[in-house]
Amino acid sequence: MFLPNRRKDPKALMVIGMSCLVIGTLWSNAPIFSHHFTPNWNDALKGFFYGLSIALNLCSVRLAVRQRKDQNSCRPA
């Protein structure tokens, strides 16, 4: 799977998270996606993609802060 290879790169996680946000936003607004499912399934899938986006974006920010903190702690005084 593509995600374990990119866990150490916060920019890649941010891109994947933002892509999930776009998919979640388009899911209910684009009839090409939403006419195949009932309204309950549309809301569930939209919520899933929003939740996945929030989780990936938070992990990306946390990873970037942790990497920055590790780089600063390795510098000599």
Tell me the C-alpha distance between 17 and 58, whole Å: 9
pLDDT tens across 16-37, in order?
999 999 999 988 777 776 677 7
pLDDT tens across 32-77, in order?
766 777 878 888 889 999 999 999 999 999 998 888 777 777 666 5
Q: Per-domain residue ranges for the chain?
A: 13-30+38-74
34: which 2 tokens?
């939403």
Tell me the C-alpha distance between 60 and 54, whole Å: 10
